[in-house]
Amino acid sequence: MRVVPFLISGLVTAALVVALDRQLPAGGSKTPRLGYFLSPQQGFWQNAEPANADFDADLKLPGLKGKVDVYMDDRLVPHIYADNDVDAYYVQGYLHAKFRLWQMEFQTHVAGGRLSEIAGEERLPIDRFFRRLGMVYGAEQTMKKMDQQPEIKAGVQAYSDGVNAYIQSLKPEQLPLEYKLMDYKPEAWTPLKTYLFLMYMSYDLAGRGSSADLQMTNARNYFGYVDFDKLFPNMPDSLDPIVPKGTVYPKASVIVKEPERVDSAYFDNRITGSVPMPEAPDKDNGSNNWAVAGSKTKSGRPILCNDPHLGLNLPSLWYEVQISTPTHNTYGASFPGSPAVIIGFNDNIAWGVTNAGRDVLDFYDIKFRDSTMDEYWYNGAWVKAAHRKEIIKIKGKPDQVENMAITVFGPVMYDRAYNNVSTQGKYLAVRWTAHDGGRGVETFYDLDRAKNFDDYMNAINKWTCPGQNFVFASKSGDIAIKQQGAFVARWKRQGDFVMPGTDSSYAWQGFIPNEENPMMKNPPRGFVSSANQEVADASYPYYLGAANNFSLYRGIIINRLLTGMNGITPQDMQHLQMENYNVFAETARPALLKYIDETALNADEKKYVGMLKSWNLRGDVNEKGATVFKCIWDSLEHVVWDDEYKQSKLPMTWPDPSTLAESLLKDSAYSFADDITTPNKTETIKEDVMLAVKKAAANLHYLENNGILAWAKYKDTRINHLLKLPALSRLHLPIGGGTHMINATKENHGPSWRMIVQLTDDIEAYGVYPGGQSGNPGSLYYDSFVDSWANGRYYHLLFLKREDAAKHAQVKWHLSFSKA
């Protein structure tokens, strides 16, 4: 009888072994392989890093040419000292992998349309989108171009070799936690992965993303061009451009010609086009940057500042590093996944970037002979299309094959196999400057080594996509800013909508020469700045694109405050980067109050209007007026726009807040105030504002009763883990700021790296980002900067000479790298 219990026990054990070695269904997802994940020897327990972890190491690795010393400071920032550039990038790749491997690979899986491979079929829509957008295709073109530059090719290859040296050293128990959660293993890194990551940044910063033209087309179709032009003006009245008004520009050297019959074929043509995007960039992806001349600083030397505004994630997008070789000594923020410093400074200069917001991506409506997509009609003849096959591997499922036609414009993103009711079976090809191959790695390679203004110009003139505003300052006293990219010379409204693709009349007619891109050097006002506003006023001879691609109000307040500042110190600049004054509310509040009749309000509604009137226009942590203003303004936008937008079955771009604010100030008989769903009544803007106040008051009452009326509690800023796992995220951060404020911190988007550099003989620099140097949630260094970032505290950046690093009080560890 003893055999029966033994057999039962054996069967139960076998069943547990099988069950624990599989991913089990859990809600809409799956568990890790619990046996492996919970294993004391190899599971997640091994990712708990001791508080006194020792990072000292003596490493002998294949591929190195000489010796490299890395001194790690008390914030886990590596200071890399190498005898040659190739070894420096090798070690940078090794350290990126050591501290950020999962993040690097996950982000390139997203960019390359490979999420289904590791996360299953539910991620297929994202993969199909990125494959069809041509992300892999663009990365391949960039790699071909960069492989023609021996120094760049060698640097990117060395970086890949360093990443792989770390991957090959990994033991199963050392795998980052997320690999164990998702049950997969890292693969070899390649240069293509670096270019894929840079393609993703091109996508993330491509104006308002690849859906903009499609949604603008829907809006034009719905409203008609005349009303569309009112809702989406080319240039708002209150614009304070990057290059000041009154600047005289030379005549355009590229003369563009509007196609014949453009009114009927384009402005009034009902080309349908929009599909819901599985992954859309935040429309506020942008930044602030400025440089002040020595004439306005206490030290008499320039100060440069930059804070790029991107999604707030853990692990952070950025990784701090110093790289020192015989050719350069550079410090700043790097991208895990790419060599070099992206935003930073060296012994001679500092630089930073903001997004230009210019349109670099268009769609063309293609006419194919039949569903094979072998031939398309172009310039009066059937032209043979090329074809590209994208194979998407799906975890536990058969592969998905995407057959894409390639036209003279580029890949056909939308066709009969990839569409929905919105596209009505149309074939839409995408023309994107990122498909032409970029030189972004070369730009940053050269900036890291730049010594003066001429070197800066030589470096940034190689930049093509996406458009950026490069700010510059040097020890010699120069300051400058230039908007740089491969910008299409467009006729007015070209590319704002889907364009006919049956002939070359709507094709791009040329690019604006680099020397005609707007720039400013050493202006009399003593500063240069940008905050994603339009670069120039209407006197600039080229079309800049629809105004809703740009931000407006941060630029106004930055220029206003810098104009009034003198004797500036780095600490003054820290305060300026954390400035929470809302200049949009300064404009919009009078427009609201102009139409509010308090005698028609109840006690609650009067109370909130009173809060609005007495508000100091700041988005500080405890301000309740900021929440009241936002709720009333949001309510007004819905009252004004909802009747039109809810009638449309297709997604459409909403007008910018400036459109409504400026219209309210100018026009009490604003035509869009009328509710089209009440044909027997004509609503006025006053009625709309009063209704908005009443609707907002109900929401505000709820917020107040639940203790979340204060701005920071209402905004509820968080920093999500890339997998959106709350346990690995930082939630409910007490930070002010928001849209339209210099401190542009929203719910999960904001300043991703704050940097201030004073170019004195011994450079004085400060910085902070919302994360930590380690990507391991089990490390003290995973989110060690977050509280400082939220509270507006900065770290003094250690820019160390090699001979000083080993004995510096803040240096804690030494890693020695040499050839195996």
- State the average pLDDT over residues 349-370: 95
Span 775-792, pLDDT tens digits? 999 999 999 999 999 999
Give me the CATH code for the 59-578+769-820 domain, please.
3.60.20.10
Amino acid 206: pLDDT? 66
Count Cβ atoms within 10 A of the Cβ of residue 761 and give its class: 0-12 exposed, 13-18 middle, 19 or more buried. exposed
The residue length of the chain stands at 820
Confidence label for 1 from pLDDT (cuts 50, 70 and 90): very low
CA–CA distance, 633 with 450 (Å, rounded to integer): 46
Element (H, E) at 287: strand 286-292
The residue type found at 623 is E
Amino acid 278: pLDDT? 47
- State the average pLDDT over residues 67-90: 98
Residue 5 has pLDDT above 60, yes or no: no
The domain spans of the chain are 59-578+769-820, 583-715
- State the average pLDDT over residues 552-575: 97
Residue 817 has pLDDT above 60, yes or no: yes
Joined tokens for residue 278: 């599985």
Residue 16 has pLDDT above 50, yes or no: no
Amino acid 682: pLDDT? 75
Least confident residue range of 280-294, 442-456, 465-479, 735-749: 280-294
Amino acid 209: pLDDT? 52
The number of beta carbons lying within 10 Å of the beta carbon of residue 550 is: 27
Least confident residue range of 146-160, 388-402, 640-654: 640-654
Element (H, E) at 161: helix 150-169
Amino acid 320: pLDDT? 98
- State the average pLDDT over residues 323-343: 98
- State the average pLDDT over residues 282-293: 85
> By C-alpha distance, which of 416, 478, 413, 414 is closest to 451?
478
Span 19-31, pLDDT tens digits? 555 665 655 556 6
Note whether 801 and 69 are within 8 A (CB).
Answer: no
CA–CA distance, 350 with 475 (Å, rounded to integer): 9
Span 602-634, pLDDT tens digits? 999 999 999 999 999 999 999 999 999 999 999
Cβ burial 134-146 (10 Å sphere, 16+ → b, else e):
bbbbbbbbbbebb
Amino acid 7: pLDDT? 52
CA–CA distance, 773 with 308 (Å, rounded to integer): 18
Q: Is 271 helix (H, G, I), strand (E, B) or coil?
A: coil
Query: Mean pLDDT score of the chain, rounded to an integer?
Result: 92
- State the average pLDDT over residues 322-350: 98
Amino acid 589: pLDDT? 97
Note whether 584 and 740 are within 8 A (CB).
Answer: yes
Note whether 547 and 232 are within 8 A (CB).
Answer: yes
What is the full DSSP assignment across 356-402? -----EEEEEE-BSSTT--EEEETTEEEEPEEEEEEEEETTEEEEEE
Note whether 809 and 62 are within 8 A (CB).
Answer: no
* % of the chain surpassing 70 pLDDT: 91
- State the average pLDDT over residues 506-527: 98
* % of the chain surpassing 90 pLDDT: 79
Amino acid 276: pLDDT? 47
The residue type found at 330 is T
Span 188-197, pLDDT tens digits? 999 999 999 9
Count Cβ atoms within 10 A of the Cβ of residue 387 and give its class: 0-12 exposed, 13-18 middle, 19 or more buried. middle
Residue 179 has pLDDT above 90, yes or no: yes
Note whether 152 and 89 are within 8 A (CB).
Answer: no
Q: In sequence order, which residues have a C-beta less than 8 Å from that of residue 680 and are 6 or more positions away? A: none
Q: Is 243 helix (H, G, I), strand (E, B) or coil?
A: coil
Amino acid 585: pLDDT? 98
For 583-715, give the CATH class: mainly alpha
Q: In sequence order, which residues have a C-beta less than 8 Å from that of residue 129 and are 6 or more positions away? A: 113, 277, 278, 279
Amino acid 691: pLDDT? 96
- State the average pLDDT over residues 228-232: 88
